[in-house]
Every structure is written in C-alpha cells, then in structure tokens.
C-alpha cells in the first residue's frame, strides 16, 4: 500500500487545506520550542512553490472551557510561521465564519492563510459547554472545513491515532487527500517496521511502566526477533522472575502479566543483567550491581555497563531497530549513561545501513536533547500515535489518506 503524498497532487491554482501539528510548547504566550513549526515547512513550501493556495491549521493544547481559548491562542504560532517561511501569513482568528470564508476565497496562488486553534471548536461559547466538535469528529464541522478548500493534505502525525474533524472529517468531504512529507516519513519508517521489517528486527523498550506498553510488547512479541528491555519496566519483569529488586520502581499488580508476556515471548525478551542503583531517587553517584545482588534499599535507576554490552551484542547486525522508552532516569546526569549508550548503538547501526527508529515521547526528547536527532533514521513526532502505530493498529489519520 502506497499512500498519496503531497508531491503527487496537482496543487496549482488549488486551495490546499493543510492540517499540520503546530502543538508547540508555550509559556505565557511565548513559544519555547518551534521545532514542530520548522518541521512543517517543507510541506507548506511545496504547496506554495507549486502555485497552490495554502490554508494551514492545527490544534494547540486542549480546549475544555472558555478560558482555554485565550490560553491556547495560536496567534504567536502564525507569527512565527511567517518569520520562518519568510512570506506573509494571513491569520484569521476564527475557526469559521464570513471573514474566514472570504479570506479562503480571495487567497492567491502561493499565498498562505492560517486560521485559529481547531480545538476552539471543542467548546461552544454560546452554549458555554464542552462539545468536542473537533475532537469527536462532528460531521458538520469536517464538511464545513472541507468547503473552504479543494484538496486536503494531512501532515499531523501526533493526532493521527484519533479521528477528528480536522483529519478524517475533512478527508471524507474532499476529492483528494494526501500525506504531507512528515506523515510520509512516519509511514515509511514506522509503517515499514510494522509491515515489512528488514531482519533481524530488534526492539528496545524502556520507560516507566509495563502497563503503558502492553499492546506494543504483545505486538513486538509477534513481529520482532528480539525485545531488549530497560527502564523502570525492567524491574517488574525481573521481580516476576523472582529476583530481589530492592526499592526499585515496580508495578506489583502487573507481575502476573509480566510472567505471561515472558512465557509468550519464548526467549525473545532480553532482560538486563546489571543496573546502576542508588539509595534514593536523587542525582548522586550510583553503583553498578548485578541484578542478582540487590540490597533491600537499592533503587535501580539505569541499566548497567554489562547490560549495555549485552544489548550491543544482541543488536549486532540488526537491520531494523525500534526504540521506545528511556533506559533509565536520563533526566539525572548520573543515570543517563544507559540511554546515551543506546543512542550510540543506534547511531552506529544507522551508519551500517540499519533503519533506526525512535518511537516518540520521552525517548524522542532524550535523543534530541542528547544530540542524536540526525544520527538515527527517524525520530517520530508522535508519542501516543507512534505507540499505537507500532502496535499495528490502523490510525484514522493515515487511513483517511488516499492510496496512490
């Protein structure tokens, strides 16, 4: 299955509705990180450079009450877009109405129009009530937004796991729907790993809880050749095997589940052999200990050096690597080595031709923060969406894109 990409469309003279992910972090109305805006530029630029009329829109935060509309005002994002794309961006501070309709109608070739936070439609000001028209894919809203343009480009992966008016709602009411370049990359790498991974296919899982990732673990047991486990979730597995994990974080109510997963995995799950422990959850120097030698007050905060060696040997020759979840409390400098080590292993495998994919959330943030963004094949832009995609679920925001 090959999806239609924005570059497959004839956009010349057409009003192109572009759903982007401009859900940037903000503090007191100031953008603290504009990565997402920069990331959307290639798709918007393609459209305007090919004679299209770009109508750009995104959600920003959640809108549950009237105050959220002001709190999540997307005006600063439109301004930043204008600076970055070095072209005027006409901003209409509404999600519907005569001004927006006129602006869309009068838009010239190569021009850009942006409208307000799509989630403003989640709250009805007149009714003073949360209505979720955008987030619950209200049929009238999708049809209305579709009426503003001619064709639709979805480039928002972070919300692709939910059917909203601004993705599937519009797609249902236009003649053509294509993926933007960001969504294309997610489909290529995550979709590729799910549908036809080059083998050996090794997954690395970490992060805080087993319970957050049951679906992914089950899917990977089916699909991957090996699953290397680190992070806090390792301790739930180790305890399920009867080991003393001291004061490490553990989900006591998931021990049976962990046992079941280990049994199902039939040797595919590789657990750490050592961990770096501390006596408290604080950023002071820890000690590397075998997972068979924990004291009662030892708290495991990272995978240990022997485990990194073990993971390196399990990863040798891998052709597809998917990683989700940090190996330790990487936010503390004394417990970042495991996560840095995995970044290094991925960087090396990338130079050897493997497809290396980081599956969103904190692990993506960690890799970026640690300077590995350009050293792996793909860092996903969606947290929840990349997990659901890895689980093999159909994402509505991708399903609504036309086949080529």
Active-site residue set: 36, 209, 361, 384
219 three-class SS: helix
- Site residues, Mg ion (CB under 5 A): 361-362
Q: Which is nearer to Mg ion, 338 or 361 (CB)?
A: 361
- Site for ligand ADP (CB under 6 A): which residue of 119, 249, 254, 378? 249
Q: Give the closest residue to 248 by CA, choosing from 305, 325, 311, 329.
A: 329
Give the number of residues written for the chain.
Answer: 404
Alpha carbon distance 247, 237 (integer Å)? 15
Burial bucket for residue 106 (CB in 10 Å: 0-12, 13-18, 19+): exposed
Residues in 138-177 at the binding interface with ligand ADP, rule: CB under 6 A: none
The DSSP bridge pattern shows strands 274-278 and 269-270 to be unpaired
Q: Go through 152-169 and write b for each residue having 16 or more CB atoms within 10 A of its CB, e for each that does not.
A: bbbbbbbbbbbbbbbbbb
> What is the closest distance, in whole angstroms, from the C-beta atom of residue 234 to ligand ADP in the complex?
7
> What is the closest distance, in whole angstroms, from the C-beta atom of residue 22 to ligand ADP in the complex?
21
Binding partner selected for residue 158 from Mg ion, ligand ADP, none, CB under the kind-specific 5 to 8 Å limit: none
DSSP 168: I
368 binds ligand ADP (CB under 6 A): no
Q: Which residue has 């680190």 as its token pair?
A: 230
- Site for ligand ADP (CB under 6 A): which residue of 85, 232, 340, 401? 232
Size of the site for ligand ADP (CB under 6 A): 19
Contact 340, 311 (CB under 8 A): no
Binding partner selected for residue 245 from ligand ADP, Mg ion, none, CB under the kind-specific 5 to 8 Å limit: none
Q: Which is nearer to ligand ADP, 191 or 207 (CB)?
A: 207
Alpha carbon distance 349, 314 (integer Å)? 12
Residues in 321-350 at the binding interface with ligand ADP, rule: CB under 6 A: 324-326, 328-329, 331
Alpha carbon distance 168, 157 (integer Å)? 13
> What is the closest distance, in whole angstroms, from the C-beta atom of residue 258 to Mg ion in the complex?
20
231 binds ligand ADP (CB under 6 A): yes
Q: Which is nearer to ligand ADP, 92 or 329 (CB)?
A: 329
> What is the closest distance, in whole angstroms, from the C-beta atom of residue 259 to ligand ADP in the complex?
20
Alpha carbon distance 364, 384 (integer Å)? 12
**Interface contacts to ligand ADP, rule CB under 6 A:** 206-208, 212, 231-232, 249, 300-301, 324-326, 328-329, 331, 361-363, 383
């Amino acid at each position: 299955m090959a999806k239609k990409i924005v570059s497959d469309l004839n956009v010349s003279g057409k009003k192109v509705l572009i759903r982007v992910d401009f859900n940037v972090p903000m503090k007191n109305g100031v953008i603290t990180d504009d990565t997402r805006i920069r990331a959307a530029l290639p798709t918007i630029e393609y459209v305007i450079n090919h004679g299209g009329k770009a109508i750009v829109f995104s959600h920003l935060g959640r809108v549950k009450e009237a105050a959220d509309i002001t709190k999540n005002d997307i005006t600063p994002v439109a301004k930043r877009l204008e600076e970055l794309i070095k072209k005027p961006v006409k901003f209409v501070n509404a999600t519907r109405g005569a001004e927006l309709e006129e602006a869309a109608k009068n838009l010239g070739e190569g021009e850009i129009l942006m409208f307000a936070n799509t989630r403003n439609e989640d709250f009805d000001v007149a009714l003073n009530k949360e209505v979720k028209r955008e987030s619950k894919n209200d049929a009238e809203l999708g049809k209305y937004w579709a009426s503003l343009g001619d064709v639709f480009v979805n480039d928002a992966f972070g919300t692709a796991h939910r059917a909203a008016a601004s993705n599937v709602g519009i797609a249902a009411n236009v003649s053509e729907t294509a993926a933007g370049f960001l969504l294309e990359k997610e489909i290529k790498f995550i979709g590729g790993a799910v549908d036809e991974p080059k083998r050996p296919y090794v997954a690395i899982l970490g992060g805080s809880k087993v319970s957050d990732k049951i679906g992914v673990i089950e899917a990977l047991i089916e699909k991957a050749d090996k699953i290397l486990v680190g992070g806090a979730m390792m301790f739930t597995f180790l305890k399920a095997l009867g080991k003393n994990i001291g004061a490490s974080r553990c989900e006591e109510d998931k021990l049976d589940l962990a046992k079941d997963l280990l049994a199902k995995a039939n040797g595919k799950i590789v657990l750490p052999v050592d961990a770096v422990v501390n006596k408290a959850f604080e950023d002071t120097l820890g000690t590397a200990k075998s997972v068979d030698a924990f004291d009662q007050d030892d708290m495991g905060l990272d995978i240990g050096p022997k485990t990194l060696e073990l993971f390196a040997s399990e990863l040798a020759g891998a052709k597809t690597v998917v990683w989700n979840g940090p190996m330790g409390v990487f936010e503390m400098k004394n417990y970042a080595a495991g996560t840095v080590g995995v970044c290094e292993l991925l960087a090396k495998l990338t130079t050897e031709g493997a497809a290396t994919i980081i599956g969103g959330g904190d692990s993506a943030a960690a890799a970026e923060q640690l300077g590995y963004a350009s050293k792996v094949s793909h860092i996903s832009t969606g947290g929840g969406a990349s997990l659901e995609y890895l689980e093999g679920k159909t994402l509505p925001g991708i399903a609504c894109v036309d086949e080529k």
